[in-house]
């Protein structure tokens, strides 16, 4: 009897195992700037507001620190049915806890 080996099954099993490991991922721990985390949230919020769209460009405009809160500012380009619009997204969060407090969006030219 001949044994048939399926190496892709081993790869699949290792991949499934690695997916189950719950390691917290923090942008700063990965060596990424802290705004990366907020940029992902900004893109998610834009996709919620424009559900049939795709974010095609992303710009971190800057960060504004206030007393107890911070505002991360982004400009996104959102494409829907061959139409592009610019969207300014401002994420206000508690500086100490990093809890998101508000999301403000304003459409602009791309």
What is the model's pLDDT at position 32?
81
User: What percent of the chain lies above the pLDDT cut of 90?
Assistant: 62
Residues in the chain with pLDDT values less than 50: 6, 8-10, 12-26
pLDDT tens-digit series, residues 12-40? 444 444 444 443 444 555 678 888 999 99
Contacts 24+ apart (CB under 8 A), 2-8: none
Across the beta sheet with 100-108, the strand order is 54-65, 69-80, 83-94, 100-108
Name which of 59, 55, 35 is nearest 44 in CA terms. Answer: 55
DSSP class of residue 3? P
Contact in structure between 74 and 61 (CB atoms under 8 Å)? yes
Residue 63 near residue 73, CB atoms below 8 Å: yes
């Amino acid at each position: 009897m001949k044994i048939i080996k399926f190496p892709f099954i081993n790869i699949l099993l290792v991949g499934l195992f690695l997916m189950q490991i719950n390691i917290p991922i923090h942008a700063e721990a990965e060596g990424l700037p802290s705004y990366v985390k907020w940029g992902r949230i900004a893109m998610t919020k834009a996709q919620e507001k424009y559900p049939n769209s795709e974010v095609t460009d992303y710009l971190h405009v800057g960060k504004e620190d206030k007393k107890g809160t911070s505002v991360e500012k982004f400009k996104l380009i959102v494409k829907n049915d061959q139409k592009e619009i610019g969207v300014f997204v401002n994420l206000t969060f508690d500086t100490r806890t990093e809890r998101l407090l508000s999301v403000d969006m304003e459409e602009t030219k791309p």
